[in-house]
Amino acid sequence: MDLSHPLFTLDPFAADARAEAKRLLGAGPVVPVDVVGVPDEQHAPLHSLCQALFDTTEQPMEVTATEEALCRFMAEPAASKAADPGDDLTSVLVEQHTSGSITHD
């Protein structure tokens, strides 16, 4: 897995992680779909959700709704990766969660 993508250098503890992500990614997020491991037909919906997530004009309730929508969206690829892991971030996260190394918290 290539960890050189700007998303992997994002400091999640920055005062404004969304603004930091926007700065790293320029005009808007480039969704590294090959890193995430979603099927081709799901690229556009994932990109739209990520664009909305990094939209610094959204109000807190809109951000929360977008985060929830992204979690619902990723549930299917996560279940698929649990059954048939690949060389992608989703498979790694599912494996780590299953082993108890990481939690939903």
Q: What is the pLDDT of residue 17?
A: 67
Q: Please answer whether residues 8 and 36 qualify as being in contact, where contact means their C-beta atoms are separated by less than 8 angstroms.
A: no
Helices 60-83 and 89-99, packing angle to 10 deg: 80
Q: What is the pLDDT of residue 48?
A: 86
Task: List per-block mean pLDDT (blocks of 10 residues) for the chain, which spans 105 residues.
Answer: 55 65 58 77 86 82 91 92 90 90 78
Q: What is the pLDDT of residue 50?
A: 84
pTM of the entire predicted model: 0.63
DSSP 15-72: TTHHHHHHHHHTTS----HHHHT--GGGHHHHHHHHHHHT-TTS-HHHHHHHHHHHHH
